[in-house]
Amino acid sequence: MSELTASQRLDIIRHKGRPTVNDYIPRIFDRFMEMHGDRLFGDDGAIMGGIAYFKGTPVTVIAQVKGRDLAENQRCNFGMPHPEGYRKALRLAKQAEKFHRPVICLVDTAGAFCGVDAEKRGQGEAIAKNLMELMTLKTPIISIVLGEGGSGGALALAVCDELAMLENAIYSVISPRGFASILWKDPSREREACDIMKITAKDLTRLGVCDAIIPEAPGGAHNDPNVTANNISDYISKALERKLKKGLDELVNERYNKFRIVGEFKEPPRSSITG
């Protein structure tokens, strides 16, 4: 199981029985109460948010919704959020901060929606605002990539204290299809792109982006959503235990540094920086 290639994992996460947040939320949380709307424009079906108990502790859950059939997918726009989705996420995160609730983000999107209305309503601004605000949010944030973590649309829910990925999940700067289309002008070379992009949980652990890999049921999460949900639940318990004992300033500083150190560059020993 552990030595699958990225493109083999792509098959697993695209399996039509792959569990979605609609399967996981009831298995992991109790009394999930969904909260709607961004208070500015509307309610986006691609991002679901609300309050629930996690093992007795109130938490805010923010989750990207993928559908499993056409009707579900029409409601959630194939898991591709509009700006109002990101603004709803931010509203709920701010609410969590006010009431000292940890935030659990479940990431599962090919990317933010690309369309005329999304541009008119400021898709770029909505994502940017989330990155900035989540970076300084004074409450713990745990993000878990369930299937696909695509681009800025995923990152907008993944500025966090700890990032975990399901064993077969991928997280990338752009979908493999988009990557092939940009670099080779040929979207059909998706699988080839997949294997050079370094997008598996193991790759991202090596690159310092992923902090924990959550095992799936043997053969993939679709084989047993209960097992996978239990593993996610175990991970959240441990992660929250680690984060809740930190002071808020320490937490926010460590979050800043988690992202601050990512990058690979060279410069002469004595930098020319002034000051």
Residue ranges in contact with other proteins by CB under 8 A: 112, 114-116, 118-125, 127-129, 131-133, 135-136, 151-152, 155-156, 158-159, 171-174, 178-179, 181-183, 185, 196-199, 203-204, 207, 209, 256, 259-260, 262-268, 271-275
Q: What angle do CA 248, 254, 258 make, to 5 degrees?
A: 145
Nearer to other proteins, 52 or 141 (CB): 141
Question: Using N-to-C axis directions, what is the helix angle for 123-135 and 83-98, rounded to 10°?
Answer: 20
Both ends of the chain: CA-CA distance in Å? 52
Nearer to other proteins, 26 or 115 (CB): 115
In the block, residue with structure tokens 């690309």: 114
Nearer to other proteins, 32 or 179 (CB): 179
Phi-psi region of 111 (alpha: psi -120 to 50; beta: other; left: phi over 0): left
Q: Within a 10 A sphere around the Cβ of 43, how many other Cβ atoms? A: 15
CB of 52 to other proteins, least distance (A): 26
Nearer to other proteins, 76 or 199 (CB): 199
**CA pair distance 206, 28, nearest whole angstrom:** 28
**CA pair distance 273, 275, nearest whole angstrom:** 7
CB of 76 to other proteins, least distance (A): 16
CB of 17 to other proteins, least distance (A): 27
Chain centre distance of CA 17: 20
Nearer to other proteins, 13 or 217 (CB): 13
CB of 204 to other proteins, least distance (A): 6
In the block, residue with structure tokens 């966090």: 160
DSSP 147-184: EEEEHHHHHTT--SSEEEEETT-EEESS-HHHHHHHHH
Nearer to other proteins, 92 or 174 (CB): 174
Question: Which residues fall within 8 angstroms of residue 107, CB to CB, at 6 or more apart?
Answer: 64, 143, 144, 145, 146, 149, 154, 157, 158, 171
CB of 122 to other proteins, least distance (A): 5
- List residues bridging with 142 in a β-sheet: 104, 162
**CA pair distance 178, 118, nearest whole angstrom:** 18
Nearer to other proteins, 36 or 138 (CB): 138
**CA pair distance 244, 241, nearest whole angstrom:** 5
Nearer to other proteins, 240 or 252 (CB): 252
CB of 94 to other proteins, least distance (A): 14
CB of 142 to other proteins, least distance (A): 16
CB of 44 to other proteins, least distance (A): 16
